[in-house]
Amino acid sequence: MGNNNRLLWLKLRTFIFGDPLATQNAEDSKVGVLGGVPVFGSDIISSEGYAPDEILYVLLLAGSLGYAYVLKISIAIVLLVISIFLVYRKAIQKYPEGGGSYTIAKAYLGENFGLIAGASLTLDYILTVAVSVSSAIENLTGIFPWLAPTEHKVLADCLVIMFMAWVNLRGLKESARLFSVPVYLYISTLALLIGTGLVEILVHGVTPEAVATGHIAVSSVSGMTWFILARAFAGGTTALTGFEAVSNGVTAFKNPAQKRAIHTLLILGIIVSLGLIGLTYLAGAYHLVPDEGNTVLNQLGLIIFGKTIPYFVLMGTAAAILVIASSTPYAGLPILLSLMARDGYTPRYFKNLGDRLVYSAGIWTLFFVSSLLIVVFQGDTHTMLPLYAIGVFISFTLTGTGLAKHVWQTKGEKWKSDFVIFCFGGIVSFLVLLIFIITKFTQGAWIILVIMPFLVLMFRGIRYIYQSEIRDVEVTMEASESFHRHVIKLKRRRAHAELIDYRNKVIVPVYDLNLIVLKTLKYAYALTPQVTAVHIASDPTRTAKLLKHWAEHHIEIPLEIVESPYRATVHDFLNYVDKVEKNGNFDTITVAIPEYVPEKLWHNFLHNQTGQLMKLMLLFRKNILVTSVPYHPVLKEAHPADLKLELKR
């Protein structure tokens, strides 16, 4: 009955998430440039659609004079795009494992700045999901009035976020296939809109003012000021949100990964630059006035296309791409969290690949946190919007500054031009960041400034706990010698007996060689010499390290490596136990599970509880005995120097 239930569960899981993908087929699950654009670029592509509105909202404070500056602001933003592209191109070239701002800031500015970059990107990704989805649902309330009530809107937001999580849990290729059509259709229709509009104005001599819509904003200030220009520039830079995702996700691209990532970044830079200039030029030429219920994009669609098929395609794909924009964080944040987990700053399970070769723990976390954000803010886009974009400009600033510092210190070939580019990107991003903080502080930006230090402290705390645990369980010379004396003593005591006389078998699952495992092996060997340590080889690097440590310490207990091509650790271990049981050579089979007992109960959150899951699953096997061998760390006073110790893997 248990096997039937397990088979039914496997079939159901396969139906929902797809067939598991083998580690050796990881390259086939990655994306190329054409797939990378919708997966990593949907956020930035969607952002350029509402950036002209953000620019005009501010410029029209100076009245119709603002139209004279709208194109100039766009050109200035494009210069920043070029600078940021060159910055992240260098980041991709130097760090093929990805990480972007986090990796650069940590390497060149120090641990604290690296954690600030990691915290800012984490917040930005979470807010991107919440803002994009809530904005898309709000745009649909006009078509579907039943979505207007708050409770209906919140439910719809959460369902869409769940759908995006499901798509991304099925793998990058699945999401690329699903999102490619609407993304490329939107890009094509937008290009047709801009091209047709330019032809009408430049070739046929259409007088824009004759077809202008809306009313000129009433000037609330006397003339144009530098502060208005700065605010308009900052508002327009919302078109850059999501630009850093490609540098975070280099490992998601097919080989040559760096080359494909740079090409994807270049294509996105060209799309956002041409789209922004084209839209702002047309908006300025037609003297459009953005309105909450009538965006610049919608007005241009009506003017240029009329209520024809291209207009409905444009607006339909524009609404769809707002939802698809949340796919960028689902691709970027899990990779970022996995890199931080390798450095010990986030729980270790974030670095584990799921059945479909994606970092499923990061995807589930993003789903739950962004859904919680929707519930807390009641799906109100305008409440969450002031928090948006601050995180990404912190990362831009740190990346540009970090690379500028590195170039200044190394002074390699063509270092002066690189230094100017990196300084420009870092300084301008910092100025934009200041404008956002100043102008949006009372609207909620202060929340980011409170949460970020909390996240940084949390990251440092997690690393400190892991370092303490590693020191607690590290195999010392004394522990190794004690283990060998224990084994030799028992061998002498059993010298008169044959191995086959022992009808009880003990299996010890092993992830790494440490004091927990040594204690468990000592316990198991005291019961019977029929002891086998079993390692489920889901990570080739980890397996190689274990074999090295096993040989270095001359552990007499045989170590058996069980290949796990689909990284199903518990499932493969249970299969191994089943095979031993079917052999029929033993009267009893005991699984002795090494168990680390943290000093504090909440520290269990930092561990993936694989041992607990093994115990639960083994309860359904009537002929298998299960025992836990707990290891309690020795309590000792912490020393400040511990924070500086490197995390050993």
Residue 538 lies in a domain: yes
Residue 649 lies in a domain: no
Confidence (pTM)? 0.84
d(CA 299, CA 538): 54
Residue 13 lies in a domain: no
Same domain? For 397 and 511 the reply is no
Whether pLDDT at 215 is above 50:
no
Whether pLDDT at 216 is above 70:
no
Pair 218, 69: CB distance under 8 Å: no
Parent domain of 598: 476-633
Same domain? For 97 and 148 the reply is yes
Alpha helices in 60-149 (DSSP H): 70-94, 100-108, 111-140
Domain C-terminal end among 466, 484, 501: 466
Residue 471 lies in a domain: no
Same domain? For 144 and 281 the reply is yes
Per the structure, the count of domains in the chain is 2
- Write down the pLDDT at residue 134: 84
CA 579 to chain centre: 39
- Write down the pLDDT at residue 559: 94
* Phi, psi of 559, rounded to the nearest 5 degrees: -110, 125
Same domain? For 77 and 218 the reply is yes
Residue 509 lies in a domain: yes
Same domain? For 430 and 290 the reply is yes
Q: How confident is the model at residue 6 (pLDDT cuts 50, 70, 90)?
A: low
Q: E strand or H helix at 308, and its extent?
A: none
d(CA 121, CA 124): 5
Same domain? For 508 and 419 the reply is no
Residue 1 lies in a domain: no
Same domain? For 333 and 418 the reply is yes
C-alpha closest to that of 61 among 209, 283, 225: 225
Alpha helices in 411-445 (DSSP H): 415-440
d(CA 545, CA 371): 39
pLDDT digits over 509-563, tens only? Answer: 999 999 999 999 999 999 999 999 999 998 888 899 999 999 999 999 999 999 9
Pair 577, 618: CB distance under 8 Å: yes
Same domain? For 616 and 520 the reply is yes
d(CA 514, CA 520): 10
d(CA 485, CA 291): 81
Residue 63 lies in a domain: yes
Pair 577, 589: CB distance under 8 Å: yes
Same domain? For 461 and 504 the reply is no
- Write down the pLDDT at residue 604: 81
Same domain? For 515 and 374 the reply is no
Q: Name the amino acid, one letter, at 356.
A: R
Domain C-terminal end among 437, 466, 495: 466
Tokens matching residue 430:
């910092």
CATH number at residue 625: 3.40.50
pLDDT digits over 252-298, tens only? Answer: 899 898 999 999 999 999 999 999 999 999 988 888 888 766 788 88
Residue 8 lies in a domain: no
Same domain? For 201 and 345 the reply is yes
CATH number at residue 395: 1.20.1740.10
Domain C-terminal end among 439, 466, 493: 466
Same domain? For 531 and 455 the reply is no
Secondary structure (3-state) at 621:
coil
Q: How confident is the model at residue 220 (pLDDT cuts 50, 70, 90)?
A: very low
- Please give the mean pLDDT across all residues of the chain: 84
Q: How confident is the model at residue 611 (pLDDT cuts 50, 70, 90)?
A: confident
- Write down the pLDDT at residue 640: 41
Q: For residues 584, 588, 589 and 595, what is the CA-based torsion angle, rounded to 10 degrees?
A: 180
C-alpha closest to that of 578 among 567, 589, 587, 569: 589
